[in-house]
Copies of this chain bind each other. A is one copy, B any other.
Amino acid sequence: MSDCSLCKVPILPILWSDLNFRIVLVTDQNIKGYLRLEALEHVSEIYQLSESIRQQMFSLLNIIEINLVNIFHPDKINIASLGNMTPHVHWHIISRYKHDNYFPESIWSTPIRNNLFENTQEEISNLKHQLTNMIKQRDAEQAFDS
């Protein structure tokens, strides 16, 4: 577990976190609007999370997807939990564009273009603000429901 890179504090910018998850901005791939949702608990598969944490995870995935669509206007969203090299539950949520370096293949395929795409400071700031607000609103609604 001490060898697990996801058990350490990430080098990538954290946009939001709580006791169970953190959302980090992946900045090293020349892909615009690429986030990772990382479980803080060290388990390798989703079924090993508790029911309530898994529910929270799926709700966060949905919130992340909506915010990527709102801010980055991608042609498609890709969502994946692989973890073959780092077996610690985490999701890649990726804005895909018809002109990105891999489209229509996955970002794990061989790139077919070689362009640079960077998030602007305004996009990052909006993303952080809107993610935080939407998660806060969801938490308030859930507290009201229970």
Contact = CB atoms under 8 A, between A and B. Distances in A.
Interface of A: 44-47, 54, 58, 61-62, 65-66, 69, 76-85, 87, 96, 103-106, 108-110
A141 B54 CA distance: 18
Most buried by B among A62, A85, A110: A62
Contacts of A79: 46, 80-81
20 contacts: A45-B69, A45-B76, A46-B62, A46-B65, A46-B77, A47-B62, A54-B58, A58-B58, A76-B82, A78-B80, A78-B81, A78-B82, A78-B83, A78-B84, A80-B106, A82-B106, A84-B103, A105-B108, A106-B106, A110-B110
